[in-house]
Amino acid sequence: MSTLNIKPKSEISSFFPENRKKDNYEFLYKTKQEINQYSYKIFAFEKEETRHNKLQKLVQLVTKIRNYLSLPDDWDGYEGIAPESKTIEETISVVKRLHDYNISLPKPMVSGTGIVGLFWEKDSIYIEICFEGDGTFWYYGKDGNLEIGEESVSLKQETEFPRNLINLIAKI
């Protein structure tokens, strides 16, 4: 004959919603502390004014990209379509992620097909990243005779940006 052991409620914390919620808050709090410590280390040697200017430029870029949502149909006079909100959302998420790499901010662009892009240009270097709202992006870069590119890079948070792309942007 077998016996059934029933554990007391105090031993089963994750099965009860109130305890699960508490665990989530503790996790978020610890994560926030870690992020704040990390941010502090990155910016410890940067002047307050420099940080403020960088954030201001980031906000201006994000605002400009968001404004693409207000484009009307035929916005370019050639039956151009406005980008979808998913495309704008993906573009902004990449702008924010790239900002963490401490590289120069791009200029935004939009095409008549609804594609949103970011580009960098300096001397003989040109780089563009484009989004279609499908959870991926493609990029192309050129520095003199060196050309790089990839047709489909996942936008999942755990996916690392292509190293050759980051290295080329860092030259600007």
Q: What is the pLDDT of residues 100-119, one digit of tens each?
A: 888 899 999 999 999 999 99
User: If residue 23 lies in a helix (H) or strand (E), which one and from where to where?
Assistant: helix 17-43
Q: Which of 145, 111, 153, 139 is nearest to 125 (CA)?
A: 145
**What global pTM score does this model have?**
0.69
120-133 pLDDT, tens digit each: 999 999 999 999 99
37-85 pLDDT, tens digit each: 444 445 456 678 878 888 899 999 999 999 999 999 899 999 999 999 9
Radius of gyration for the chain, computed over Cα atoms and rounded to the nearest angstrom = 22
